[in-house]
Chains A and B, each alone.
Chain A
């Protein structure tokens, strides 16, 4: 069964600093990979996704993520963090099961941004 590990529960960065959020997955083939962001009281918003092709994917709000098959990782990065990026970030993996894709989520990483 697929699983997703986000090893960092909280990450604190200063505004303007770079950011990397870690995500590792357990799956036999190349899964579909996603990063979602959840602001307080809001639903989950898709930041970016990887299905195939170029292993470096660009998303919204200046985020990018790199798929590394050898490390089973899909880490999220941003070169310069803004105060508005403070939120909960979830990595997700979807595998094909009986013709369906059902995303499995990690426990999330809470991003705190200091001024």
Chain B
């Protein structure tokens, strides 16, 4: 696609439920990032993929958070047993390999846990 696409744009879920957030990166970009942005804060790094593998998952806050990228393109961020503190905008970005230039961001998924 022309840009990074994230679905859904908004997600409201009940505390304790499981959610999946999807990211479709720019075609051909092998690097993919997930960030979380809370109100009034900058994006906070969660996980980075190079191809199909998670090259750095040091930003995942706990084991309720997990992400996959099985075919090296689309990625899914999975949150189990959601808590109200998980409410935030989840941003996905991708970048090309062969030399890092910049990260291109999607518009984000606003997650609200009630």
Contacts and interface: CB of A to CB of B under 8 A. Distances in A.
Interface in A39-93: 41-46, 49, 90
Contacts of B91: 43-44
A107 B41 contact: yes
A102 B45 contact: yes
Interface of B: 4, 31, 33, 35, 40-45, 48, 50, 55-56, 91, 93, 95, 100-108
Interface of A: 4, 6, 32, 34, 36, 41-46, 49, 90, 94, 97-108
A113 B63 CA distance: 43
Given A4-B42, A44-B93, A105-B43, 17 more contacts: A6-B42, A36-B105, A41-B107, A42-B107, A43-B91, A43-B105, A44-B43, A46-B102, A94-B100, A97-B56, A98-B56, A100-B50, A101-B95, A102-B33, A102-B48, A103-B45, A107-B41
Contacts, number: 57
Given A42-B107, A44-B105, A102-B33, A108 B42 contact: yes
Nearest to A106: B42
A115 B83 CA distance: 42
Contacts of A32: 100
Contacts of B42: 4, 6, 90, 105-108
Contacts of A99: 50, 55
